[in-house]
Amino acid sequence: MGCTYAVRGFDFDYVGILWMSDLVWRTNRWCVDPQHVHESGVINTASRARRERDPDTEARDQLLQSVKQAYRILLTRALRGVYLWIEDEETRKHLKQAVKI
């Protein structure tokens, strides 16, 4: 995920996004993998979530919401189009179906 602070408040003709394994679609829901979150704005939450083994903890939920918001910000910065590369196959399939590509 890119740094949302670099693009917040700006609009661009086109945006390219590399959607990595920090946010993936699994069994009909979004899941965050704290091991793959390196965004400086959520480093404390990511560190807490890494220490917790249970995927349904408060820190993981906060991290999930932050990562989802970051992708939303990045995906809405383009005026003309978005180029999106998605690392995870299941996530890619879900998003293709969701936007009917």
Domain region containing 18: 4-98
pLDDT at 10 (0 to 100):
72
pLDDT of 101 above 90: no
pLDDT of 3 above 70: no
Contacts 24+ apart (CB under 8 A), 28-35: 30/64, 30/68, 31/55, 31/64, 32/60, 32/63, 32/64, 32/67, 34/60, 34/63
Q: How many domains, in total, are found in the chain?
A: 1
- Percent of the chain at pLDDT > 90 equals 50
What's this model's pTM, rounded to 2 decimal places? Answer: 0.82
The mean per-residue pLDDT over the stretch 48-73 comes to: 86
Ranking 16-25, 44-53, 66-75 by mean pLDDT, the lowest is: 44-53
Which residue in 77, 73, 82 sits closest to 10, CA to CA? 77
1 — pLDDT class (breaks 50, 70, 90): very low
The mean per-residue pLDDT over the stretch 44-65 comes to: 85
